[in-house]
Amino acid sequence: MNKYKVIYYVVAIALLVSVFLLIGMDLGWFNPYQSNQFIWVYFALIPVVDWIEKKANNLASEKGE
């Protein structure tokens, strides 16, 4: 069950990021043809992924998996 929770968190975060990117493109904050603007999104997601991995490891160690 632990794997499914991690997948759920990753999908939820990816959905939020994609919604914010779509809103930003509609408002003119991002140009979809310039990929150097989107590299900052990946840098912003690195701490989120690390947090999810730590949380998953803590849950696994508590359950003894």
What's residue 63's pLDDT? 67
What is the tens place of the pLDDT at every residue in 10-35?
888 888 888 888 888 788 877 766 66
Q: Which domain holds residue 16?
A: 2-63
Q: For residues 7 and 3, give the distance between their C-alpha atoms in angstroms, rounded to a whole number.
A: 6
Q: How far apart are the first and last CA of the chain?
A: 11
Secondary structure letter of residue 29 according to DSSP: S
pLDDT of residue 35: 61
What's the pLDDT at 50?
A: 81
Rounded to two decimals, the pTM is 0.46
What is the C-alpha separation between 63 and 65, in angstroms, rounded?
6
Please name the residue that has the structure tokens 């990946």.
42
Determine the Cα–Cα distance for residues 39 and 6; give it in Å rounded to an integer: 23
Structural domains in the chain (count) = 1
Q: pLDDT tens digit string along 28-60?
A: 877 766 666 666 667 777 787 788 788 878 877
